[in-house]
Amino acid sequence: MSGSSRADGRTATQLRPMSASQGVLARADGAVRFGFGDALAICSVNGPMEAKLKEEQLDRATIEVQYRPATGVPGVRARVMEAAIRDIVEASVLANHHPRTLVQVTVQHLNEAGSAMATTLNAVAMALLNAGLPLRSMPATTTCAITADGELLIDPTAEEEAVAASIHTMAFVQEQHQLVYIESTGHYTEEQLAACHELCRAGADKVYAFYRVALEKKLAEEGFVVEAAA
Amino acid sequence: MAKIILPGEQVDVFTVDDTVDASLPVCLGPGLVQSETAVHAIQGGLLRSQETARHWWIESNKKRYVPAVGEPVIGQVTSRHAEEYRVDIGGAHTAVLPALAFEGATKKNRPNLKVGALVYARVSLADKDMEPELECVNPSTGRSDGYGELTDGFMVHCGLAHCLRLLRPNAAALTALGQHIPFEVAVGMNGRVWIRADTIDHTILGATMITRSEHVYGDMTTALTASTELDACRRLVKQLVQQL
């Protein structure tokens, strides 16, 4: 793999710099704007709150997901996104801790610049953490593209995605590096998928490390005395 | 000791050194749950422990209140019924406040709360499958212990961690404010604080101080200690008094 093959000067295994603003919406219980470079999504989480009678579930919290793309009206693509967000949220949230309540997850994509799914799912995970909902785990998601000549590129930009032979998005939880979500489009071989898995896992580790740094920063701003790691 | 922890991470609460009595039961607080073999975090925050007592818990800030027994809360009456009031305490469900759960209340002599009135109460029942219940009386002594209707004054909202900080003895924000104006305050653990001072101006000053003091930590340049916290709050209250 050559180091200088990418238009923005990154190496094939390098993510764009991550950014996160936590608690950006004053009236939401949890809200985070997450970005890989200029690919940005904002997610707000509300709950556990009162559910409408017909939505109420006796043994668990009802989860409501809404996704809006950066431009245009929500269509089939938005429904696919919503399904993916729901998968991640239901796998992470311990819904049985708050029966007969409602948890509302709303995502607004701010700028689509590649790795849309990964940007969205990381924003969702951080917003769930920010809202303080009981979570089983924190999923970290990365996207990997395979170019026509078989090169693997992590965190592809929109231009790189447009010419890719296949695109793979994978989410991992930190304990045992478990794969919890995968979405692939295009033509690829089994070996290529295995290589993508390795690359995405390494990328997810970096995302997870970023979660920790972001949480530490938030706690320090809120007046918790955080001791430096020994 | 305190370290950052993310949900799903394991916590080793069972290994102890010689200073700890290993026969004591382990006590898990907020943010920690036990699975079959291990203890996991279910919240992100600071892992804290009192190792000699084998107490473990996670500290973090939230905005949404989840009721827990014994916590003081500030509620707003949303409807009146024959035997009880319905009170909004900011949780997922409205709470029930029995009309007889007040000091000296009898069938003939009961408090008359209007819809919209604020009450300071203690959570007497909290279960995830049941509606929370409140009381404004200590059931063992029959005294109010300071709970009851809150009249006049002003209520503000803040984060749950800030409420906890205001409830500590000698809370920096309240100490600093007390050096300038006399006031009465009720702090609910549901993210609501009620304050009443001698004049309306002072009440507004106090309410502003309570909301603004939540954010003094982000601007602090020195290490956070009890004295630097108090200094920051003093500077803030001085600035607010000058603006008055």
Residue A4 scores a pLDDT above 80: no
Q: With an 8 Å Cβ cutoff, are B4 and A175 in contact?
A: no
Taking the C-alpha atoms of residue B219 and residue A138, their distance in angstroms, rounded to an integer, is 29
Predicted confidence (pLDDT) per residue in B87-112, tens digit: 999 999 999 999 999 999 999 999 99
Assigned domain for B66 exists: no
Give me the sheet containing A62-68, strands edge to edge: A18-22, A30-36, A39-50, A101-111, A62-68
Taking the C-alpha atoms of residue B129 and residue B193, their distance in angstroms, rounded to an integer, is 27
- Whether A175 and chain B come into contact, CB under 8 Å, resolves to yes
Q: With an 8 Å Cβ cutoff, are B66 and A99 in contact?
A: no
Assigned domain for A38 exists: yes
Residues B39 and B85 in one domain: no
Assigned domain for A152 exists: yes
Q: Which domain holds residue B44?
A: 2-59
All residues of chain A having their beta carbon less than 8 Å from the beta carbon of residue B92 are: 47-51, 98, 100-102
What is the number of other CB atoms lying within 10 angstroms of the CB of residue A221? 16
The CA-atom distances, in angstroms, between B227 and each of A20, B59, B178, B218 are: 31, 21, 16, 16
Q: With an 8 Å Cβ cutoff, are B44 and A49 in contact?
A: no
pLDDT band at A88 (very low <50, low <70, confident <90, very high): very high
Give me the residues paired with residue B134 across strands: B123
CB-CB contact of A29 with A45 (8 Å): yes
Residues B146 and B206 in one domain: no
Note the pLDDT of residue B1: 53
Assigned domain for B219 exists: yes
Predicted confidence (pLDDT) per residue in A167-202, tens digit: 999 999 987 789 999 999 999 999 999 999 999 999
Residue of A nearest to B43 (CA): A134
The CA-atom distances, in angstroms, between A215 and each of A219, B6, B40, B157, B238 are: 6, 8, 18, 23, 32
Note the pLDDT of residue B237: 96
Residue A9 scores a pLDDT above 60: yes
Q: Which domain holds residue A196?
A: 18-221
Q: With an 8 Å Cβ cutoff, are A48 and B62 in contact?
A: no
The residue ranges of chain B whose pLDDT is under 70 are: 1
| H or E element, residue B200 | helix B200-212
Residues B162 and B237 in one domain: yes
Assigned domain for A117 exists: yes
User: CATH number, domain at B40?
Assistant: 2.40.50.100
Assigned domain for A230 exists: no
Residue A119 scores a pLDDT above 50: yes
Residue of B146, B130, B138, B135 whose CA lies nearest to B94:
B130
**Alpha-carbon distance A27 to nearest alpha carbon in chain B (angstroms):** 9
DSSP state at residue B60: -
Q: With an 8 Å Cβ cutoff, are A216 and B10 in contact?
A: no
**Domain edge (last residue) among B121, B150, B179:** B150
Taking the C-alpha atoms of residue B173 and residue B237, their distance in angstroms, rounded to an integer, is 8
Taking the C-alpha atoms of residue A157 and residue B155, their distance in angstroms, rounded to an integer, is 48
At residue A208, the 3 state secondary structure works out as helix
Note the pLDDT of residue A226: 73
Predicted confidence (pLDDT) per residue in A26-85, tens digit: 999 999 999 999 999 999 999 899 999 999 999 999 999 999 999 999 999 999 999 999
- Pairing type for strands B55-59 and B27-28 reads parallel
Assigned domain for B64 exists: no
**Alpha-carbon distance A130 to nearest alpha carbon in chain B (angstroms):** 7
Assigned domain for B99 exists: yes
**Alpha-carbon distance B9 to nearest alpha carbon in chain A (angstroms):** 7
Residues B124 and B167 in one domain: no
**Domain edge (last residue) among B109, B127, B150:** B150
Overall number of domains in chain A = 1
Taking the C-alpha atoms of residue B77 and residue B70, their distance in angstroms, rounded to an integer, is 20
Q: pTM for this structure?
A: 0.95
Assigned domain for A7 exists: no
Which among B10, B46, B92 has CB closest to A224?
A: B46
Assigned domain for B65 exists: no
**Domain edge (last residue) among B95, B122, B150:** B150
Residues B77 and B109 in one domain: yes
Taking the C-alpha atoms of residue A9 and residue A30, their distance in angstroms, rounded to an integer, is 35
Residue A225 scores a pLDDT above 90: no
Q: How many CB pairs under 8 A join A and B?
A: 114
Q: With an 8 Å Cβ cutoff, are A47 and B218 in contact?
A: no
Assigned domain for B131 exists: yes
Assigned domain for B210 exists: yes
Taking the C-alpha atoms of residue A155 and residue A14, their distance in angstroms, rounded to an integer, is 8
Overall number of domains in chain B = 3
Residue A228 scores a pLDDT above 60: no
